[in-house]
Amino acid sequence: MTGLRVLLACTAIMAASPALADGDAAHGKVVFNQCLVCHTIEPAKWKIGPSLYGVIGRHSATLPGFQYSEAMKKYNVVWAPDTLEAYLPAPMKAVPGTKMTFAGLPNPKDRQDVIAYLETLK
């Protein structure tokens, strides 16, 4: 593929993708409160689910000390806005067999906002 074709293909993909970085982190923190039932935002601490502090950029199922399901171990992604966008609408459908029983975030705006909030946890 020529350089121009690659540039055009990338531009088309970006135009079709939601603007994840444009989420409202303040609203995302409010939506995220429902996640705090099972997750923490403290580094290296967990509840039923792993800490989500620093989750953006972390490879799935790699927080030391947390016992992940075999399904999550096999999921094999790096958590980034696009992978979270694919996962958060319905985690049990994205990763059949996961221990995470959360139904998901069906609202695209809520997902974008939660992702923006997660990006602040570094």
Q: Break the chain into its structural domains and give their ranges.
A: 21-120
d(CA 81, CA 55): 10
d(CA 121, CA 42): 9
Question: Are 62 and 74 within 8 A, CB to CB?
Answer: no
pTM for this prediction: 0.81
Tell me the angle at which helices 108-120 and 25-32 cross, rounded to the nearest 10 degrees: 100
CATH for 21-120, options being 1.10.10.60, 1.10.760.10, 3.40.50.720, 3.40.50.1000: 1.10.760.10
Q: What is the pLDDT of residue 21?
A: 55
User: If the chain, 122 residues long, is cut into consecutive pieces of 10 residues, what is the mean pLDDT of each piece?
Assistant: 40 40 92 97 94 97 95 97 98 96 96 98 94
Q: What is the pLDDT of residue 22?
A: 80
